[in-house]
Structures are given as structure tokens and as C-alpha cells.
Structure 1
Amino acid sequence: MLHLPTPDATAKLLASLLGRPVKVGAGKVDDAKLTIAGTYRSGDIANAAMCLMDAGFGAYAGAALSLLPVAVATGYVKKGRLEEDILDNCGEVLNVCSRLFTSDDQHRVTLDTRHFAPEPLPPAATALLAGGKRLDLVLDIDKYGSGMLVLAVPG
């Protein structure tokens, strides 16, 4: 069984990827706003873990990854969904987040599927949100903005 990372380990990995500080902020995650999901496979096990985020975190992280202006990301946040020019970057963030679930005694964890609004979240995401172990975070990306991120594994 996979384990959840700590908030600090999550912020550290994302800061390394994005090349700027990422801080764990205060706030509550609103599940209804989680519109982006990545499901992860571990060995033969599908849906072994999941990473969900709102449009804010997806937009700011995607923009920071390729140094797009913050105004571009803010435009996506206002729309509530991402478009092609930033989806690949957001997908890369999901891909790198697989490392958060990997440990020395576990199988390799890889990104299996990606889901972006307006596509509905997969049923496995709803099930993990309701009954799995989860780490809810509000993360602030320096000079970009903040958003919600949830990491989940089966209970």
C-alpha cells in the first residue's frame, strides 16, 4: 500500500520542479472545485493513488513551469478551466507528483490517466475522496498564486 507524503515534502518537490518557493498555506479544500485529476498505477494496481487540483493550482503551477506571465494564469483561474497552451504543463506537474507516492519498498508509481475539466472526474477519484486517506493542501506558488491540491491513496 502506498503512503501519503508530508506537506513539507510536497512543497519541496513542487518548489524544485517550478524553480520558485512553494509554501503550504492556510485554508480549506473545497472538493467541488477539484477539476483536474491524475490517477497513478503501482505495478499491476490501477488507481493506487490520485492527485487532484483546482484550476487555480493547475494554472499557476503550469504557468510557473514554463515562465508564462501570471496574468495568463489568472485568466485561466477566472475561466475556471485550462486550455491547450497550459494543459501539457499541468500534465507534467501531475507526472512529477508520482514521486510523492514512491518509496524504496514500493513498486514504481507512474501517472496512468489525466482528467481535465470539463471532463468529469473519474469514479475512482470520487471514491478516493470519500473513503481514502487524503492530504489536503492549499499551496502558494511564489509570485503566481495559490490553489488547492489533494493527494489520496486507498484507505
Structure 2
Amino acid sequence: MSATPLPSALDVRELLEGLLGREVAVATGGPMVDPGSTDGALVAEFVSDQMQLAAIVVMDVPLAARSGASIALMPSLASENAVGAGELTDVLLENAGEILNVMASLFNAEGAPHLRLSAVHPPKAALPNDVAGWVLAYVPRLDLECDVSGYGPGNLSVLVV
């Protein structure tokens, strides 16, 4: 069995566009999304069938709010209010969690371990020690600047641990 693959920026863009039903501009070389920042970040854990942590996706509050509003066809004002307040409403958090759940498909390649979403940690929540040590580590990772058409920009980090 081979290692869990790191998806390409193209794979991430195509998945987001398919889910959101709108264009998403994606640029590599974005900043590492830091859950310890003032607004925090949404952190998703992906585990193998043996319950081993294998991948992490970190979404800043602006991207979580904007993609969460977009997938539900909510007005962009709903996401802007969340971005301005620096926190996600329950609806936006749930919607962003659904996007993260589908993102598990980015890691599931033939011959690689099957991964599934195990947990989503809301912004400013304490992270488990095994996750906290990885989110800013120099491991195979993809740090992206994303811009959801009609909603706005945000940042996303995808890591394979």
C-alpha cells in the first residue's frame, strides 16, 4: 500500500467548484493557515481505517464562512457578517464541515489507505496534541489562496502527515 497522496491545487479547485457550483480561483504559495491566529481556523482531521491520523485540512474563518454560505446559496452578506465578527454561525460551521467531509475524496487514491473525516474542530477550539503539532509543520502540504466567485477570498492548508 502506498502513502496518502497530497492532492494538487487543480484537484482542490475542481472539487470546490463542483461542490459550490461556481468558479473558485486557487493560487499556490498562500500562507500557512494558523489556528492560533486571532480568528482561529477550522481544522479537519482525516484518519485511515486503522484510526491513524493521515491528513489535515485547515480553513481560515473567511474561507469557511464564504464557502459555507456559497454551498447553501446564502447571500454573501451572511458570510461577510461572520468574517467581520471573526466567528462562524452554527449554519456556516455545519456547511463548511460538509465541504470538509467531501474533501476526504482528495486523499483516496488507488493503492493508498482509505481516509475519512474523523473530526472538525471549530475556530478557537483547543486542538488535540497529535493534531496541534502538525498544523504548522513542514510536511507535504499545499497552502492555497482561494477566491469563491461572488463571495470572496480565504486561505486553505492541506497537509499529509
Same fold (TM over 0.5): yes
What is the identity, as a one-letter code, of the residue corresponding to 1:43?
Answer: D
- Structure 1 counterpart of 2:137: 130
Q: What stretches of structure 1 move > 6 A for 4+ residues in a row? A: none
What is the identity, as a one-letter code, of the residue corresponding to 1:10?
Answer: V
| Unaligned ranges ≥5, structure 1 | none
- Structure 2 counterpart of 1:48: 54
| Unaligned ranges ≥5, structure 2 | none
- TM (normalized to structure 1)? 0.92
User: For the structure 1 residues 131 and 122, does the alpha-carbon distance in structure 2 shift closer, same or farther, using more than 3 Å as the test?
Assistant: farther
Q: Say whether residues 1:116 and 2:135 are aligned partners.
A: no
- Structure 1 counterpart of 2:16: 14
Specify the SS of the correspondent of 2:62.
helix
What is the alpha-carbon distance in structure 1 between the residues aligned to residue 32 and residue 94 of structure 2?
24
User: For the structure 1 residues 138 and 121, does the alpha-carbon distance in structure 2 shift closer, same or farther, using more than 3 Å as the test?
Assistant: farther
More helix by percentage: 1
Q: Say whether residues 1:91 and 2:130 are aligned partners.
A: no
- Structure 1 counterpart of 2:73: 67
User: For the structure 1 residues 137 and 26, does the alpha-carbon distance in structure 2 shift closer, same or farther, using more than 3 Å as the test?
Assistant: closer
Between the aligned residues of both structures, percent identity stands at 32
- TM (normalized to structure 2)? 0.88
1:42 deviates by 1.3
Q: Any idea what the Cα deviations from partners look like across 1:21-49, whole Å, max 9, x if unmatched?
A: 11113763153345101100112042110
Verify the 8 A CA contact 2:43 2:121 in the aligned structure 1: yes
Moved more, 31-40 or 96-105: 31-40
What is the alpha-carbon distance in structure 1 between the residues aligned to residue 78 and residue 146 of structure 2?
19
Q: Say whether residues 1:2 and 2:9 are aligned partners.
A: no
Q: Any idea what the Cα deviations from partners look like across 1:43-93, whole Å, max 9, x if unmatched?
A: 204211011010001001100000010010011111111021211101101
Specify the SS of the correspondent of 1:60.
helix
What is the alpha-carbon distance in structure 2 between the residues aligned to residue 12 and residue 47 of structure 1?
25
Q: Any idea what the Cα deviations from partners look like across 1:113-137, whole Å, max 9, x if unmatched?
A: 1100231233333322314211100
Verify the 8 A CA contact 1:29 1:148 in the aligned structure 2: yes
**How many residues in Structure 1 have an aligned counterpart in Structure 2?**
154
Verify the 8 A CA contact 2:32 2:157 in the aligned structure 1: no
Q: Say whether residues 1:150 and 2:157 are aligned partners.
A: yes
- Structure 1 counterpart of 2:25: 23
Q: CA RMSD in A?
A: 1.6
